[in-house]
Structure 1
Amino acid sequence: MTATRAQPGRNASPRTARAINDRLALRLLQEEGPLTAAQLKELTGMSRPSVADLVERLQDSGLIEVVGESGAARRGPNARVYGIVADRAYVAGLDVRVESIGVEIADLLGRTVARADLTVPYDADPARTIAGGVDLLLGAAGGKPLHTVAFGAPGLVNPVTGRLSTTGELPAWHGDFVDEVRGRLGVPVLLENEVNLAAVAEQRVRGAGADTFVLLWIGGGVGAALVLEGRLRRGNSGGAGEVGFLPISSSGRLPTSTNCDDGFHGLAGSRAVCDLARAHGLALHGSDAAAAASAVLAGTPGFLDELAGRIALGAAAVCAVLDPGQIILAGEVGAAGGPDLAARVASTLATLSPLRTEVRPTAVPSGPILRGAVITAMDTAQNALFPPTP
């Protein structure tokens, strides 16, 4: 553990000082896990009486509880170990797809308590489907109150209005979905582009050293998320990372503002990957993201090299503008390719760009959008429930 000193400032009032210390202690309990009063004293630099008052105050507020005892080899009783009351409320993460919606319920520390995939029939009311599904999962998880929902969907999320503008051939119901869910659930509902949420998960899992990178999503479609100097960048209209519209194609035609089939999407999306795999003699059923991932797992060196060359074209365009130093390959295809595909992309990219760029496989190969949604909802709920620093 790294010692962190509480520094309220000389002119801070007692109330302000207490709030700062409370927030610091809660952050340490979130990041380090359960701690004894002695460990809190060491990490905060507070006096023993101040820590005792803090622990009592946070217990009375229902924010922390005794979760065990320390087994330290010493005389006298074992020290109590305190932890966050993580199940006082739940959060939900959603991953909205064309024909299905993934839902994950988690506690305030992001630990999954229930998860399901809900099918959305063509003529169904998706808001009713998801509201009913969340209620069902909450009931199965013990009926704790739902505090915050965050979900990802393909398209542009307006940074000002928070509304979704779909791109490409996506279901019409996506556009009004957030408002309908907000009305049905009656809790804060946050919306984010789904690839951005995958980057949130990537950044949290990687921790130190993940301040600047571009996550390149290669799956059913293609997209990118930009994390620069520790912050997720969305762009003026929420469209940062819409690399599917890059004018890079094998057809020689150009994408339009409503269709990216003749852009980078048509070169590296799942249908293009499956067509390329068949051209290399691989037998596939379908052309969706799962089929493309299967092709990569069974791919021949020639197929993988050609696929890597296509991905490197998009990566080179991103690097020429942003020079992020690090590209993360994610999505169904990127995750399936793992270190091998990343190395092939890096090799080709080095011949296309003079900029030194590391290419790495995702650290969150399973469910990154749901994980990013849960993290986003968890952070929001913690900020609301735990006392903020004045």
Structure 2
Amino acid sequence: MTSVRTATPSTARAINDRLALNLLLEQGPLTATELRELTGLSRPTVADLLDRLQRGGLVALAGERGEARRGPNARLYALVTSRAHIAAIDVRSVGVSIVIADLAGQTLATAEIPAGPEAGHGAGGLAGRTVSTLLDTARRAGVDQLHTVAVGIPGLVDPATGRLDNTGGLPGWHTELIAALRELPGTGLILENEVNLACITEHRAGAARDRDTFVLLWLGHGTGAGVMLDGRLRRGASGGTGEIGFLPVPGTDRLPTASDCEGGFHALVGSSAVCALARDLGLPADEAGDAAAAEAVVHAAVAAGPAGAPFLDAFADRVAVGAASICVVLDPGCVVLGGEVGRAGGAELAGRVAGRLARLSPLRTEVRVGVVGGGGVLGGAVLLACDAARRDLFGGP
């Protein structure tokens, strides 16, 4: 016989509090009447939780709302977004971007730190400068204590330990920075792969808001994928889900190795390959072959109309090879083209990739253009850090 568990009074209060706090977060200031209507809770229960949340410093009076009736105006209650503050950091080879935000995810201050020709070591190196800039930027925003710092970084992040797996391809200052951030007193640290963060942003605020299952195919200087299945980001046993740059594919001159993805899918669609393809087809392309150069090539091909079609056709053929490999295994139903190069191709590239996927795979797959842009990594980091702060303050999983 199965026993039925009933919620204890304290559990019920915690559930009701969390429900009210999330409503105030999502909809802004509300009256007690509106909270009753939205939650279905009784008048005494709402009055009790509002009193409790005010005493806890999570809710405060935010003015009054005039009603179309006689009598006093209704009091408005709002979430105290200054109850906790978070930081988001985007770590790249060229430098670092920082955002300080409140509990609602509203930006309070930002900072940029270029890497320069030599990152250096110690307090004067880029890792030390990043930590000092983080704290200075927080103080400039009136923040003395950060609840959580979320960092988007290249490489694998172990989902069990949260630690960065430096396989030798990351600059030394990356690991120095993570070690320094772990030493910040009273501050939680979240590490996440940069493409995974962009995937979270596309899911919650971008091109895949209506999809619980999709894959973000990141096309930029490097190549990667973020995998969202049933509303959950999938990281794999070692954090390597989406390392599609290592995928063995036809059309390269060798196979990839454990330490070199140049023989894999990256060799077909990475920024250097994009620029080389353009030159092969008679289009101008910067020899540097970085993400900015590849983005410019794709933009120019789209703008050129029929003259750019041969390049877009050839590039779509390459992209579809990798996308098809993902789709026949995961059947995501939707692929979002992100990164500088993917977004530059717009609907012209997405349409071509979709057509080729339809011929390569029996599974129906929609192809969309990512919308979050270069801020997607920072945006995802803000979302994760705010989630952590709210779990701590609101309770719940």
Q: What TM-score does the superposition give when structure 1 sets the normalisation length?
A: 0.92
How far apart are residue 71 of structure 1 and its match?
3.8
1:146 counterpart residue number? 146
* 2:151–2:381 CA contact under 8 A, matched in 1: yes
1:91 counterpart residue number? 86
Matched residue type, 2:35: L
Q: 1:342 aligns with which of 341, 350, 354?
A: 350
- Between the aligned partners of 1:361 and 1:294, the Cα distance in structure 2 is 17
Q: 2:47 aligns with which of 52, 67, 89?
A: 52
Equivalences for 1:76-155 in 2 at 5 Å? 76-121=71-116, 122-124=118-120, 125-155=125-155
2:276 counterpart residue number? 275
2:379 counterpart residue number? 371
- Between the aligned partners of 2:290 and 2:273, the Cα distance in structure 1 is 10
Q: 1:23 aligns with which of 18, 27, 33?
A: 18
How far apart are residue 131 of structure 1 and its match?
0.7
The 10-residue stretch of structure 1 (247-256 or 101-110) with the greater mean CA deviation from structure 2: 247-256
How far apart are residue 167 of structure 1 and its match?
4.9
Structure 1 residues 253-275: Cα deviation after superposition (integer angstroms, max 9, x where no partner): 11111011111111101111122
How far apart are residue 11 of structure 1 and its match?
4.1
- Between the aligned partners of 2:252 and 2:5, the Cα distance in structure 1 is 67
- Between the aligned partners of 1:103 and 1:336, the Cα distance in structure 2 is 25
How far apart are residue 208 of structure 1 and its match?
5.5
The 10-residue stretch of structure 1 (281-290 or 101-110) with the greater mean CA deviation from structure 2: 281-290
* 1:248–1:263 CA contact under 8 A, matched in 2: yes
* 2:85–2:143 CA contact under 8 A, matched in 1: no
Q: 2:310 aligns with which of 278, 302, 307?
A: 302
How far apart are residue 136 of structure 1 and its match?
1.8
1:220 and 2:215 correspond? no
What secondary structure, in the 3-state scheme, does the structure 1 residue paired with 2:224 have? strand
Q: What TM-score does the superposition give when structure 2 sets the normalisation length?
A: 0.90
- Between the aligned partners of 1:365 and 1:317, the Cα distance in structure 2 is 25
Structure 1 residues 90-112: Cα deviation after superposition (integer angstroms, max 9, x where no partner): 11111111121111111111111
- Between the aligned partners of 1:168 and 1:357, the Cα distance in structure 2 is 36
2:304 counterpart residue number? none
Matched residue type, 1:259: D
Seen in structure 2, the aligned counterparts of structure 1 residues 284 and 18 have a Cα distance that, compared at 3 Å, is: same
What secondary structure, in the 3-state scheme, does the structure 2 residue paired with 1:117 have? strand
Seen in structure 2, the aligned counterparts of structure 1 residues 264 and 11 have a Cα distance that, compared at 3 Å, is: closer
How far apart are residue 383 of structure 1 and its match?
0.7
* 2:220–2:291 CA contact under 8 A, matched in 1: yes
- Between the aligned partners of 1:183 and 1:54, the Cα distance in structure 2 is 37
Structure 1 residues 300-337: Cα deviation after superposition (integer angstroms, max 9, x where no partner): 12211211111111101111211111111111111222
* 1:164–1:174 CA contact under 8 A, matched in 2: no
* 2:146–2:186 CA contact under 8 A, matched in 1: no
2:332 counterpart residue number? 324
* 1:249–1:267 CA contact under 8 A, matched in 2: no
How far apart are residue 235 of structure 1 and its match?
0.7
The 10-residue stretch of structure 1 (352-361 or 152-161) with the greater mean CA deviation from structure 2: 152-161
- Between the aligned partners of 2:285 and 2:140, the Cα distance in structure 1 is 38
- Between the aligned partners of 2:29 and 2:132, the Cα distance in structure 1 is 35
How far apart are residue 16 of structure 1 and its match?
2.6
What secondary structure, in the 3-state scheme, does the structure 2 residue paired with 1:146 have? coil
Structure 1 residues 99-147: Cα deviation after superposition (integer angstroms, max 9, x where no partner): 2111111111111111222112424233212111111211221234211
Equivalences for 1:350-369 in 2 at 5 Å? 350-369=358-377
- Between the aligned partners of 2:10 and 2:186, the Cα distance in structure 1 is 33
- Between the aligned partners of 1:196 and 1:135, the Cα distance in structure 2 is 26
- Between the aligned partners of 2:6 and 2:361, the Cα distance in structure 1 is 54
* 1:152–1:192 CA contact under 8 A, matched in 2: yes
| Unaligned ranges ≥5, structure 1 | 1-8
Equivalences for 1:147-296 in 2 at 5 Å? 147-167=147-167, 169-184=169-184, 186-206=186-206, 209-248=210-249, 250-285=251-286, 286-296=288-298
How far apart are residue 67 of structure 1 and its match?
2.5
* 1:168–1:260 CA contact under 8 A, matched in 2: no
- Between the aligned partners of 1:169 and 1:384, the Cα distance in structure 2 is 35
How far apart are residue 338 of structure 1 and its match?
2.0
| RMSD of equivalent CA atoms | 2.0
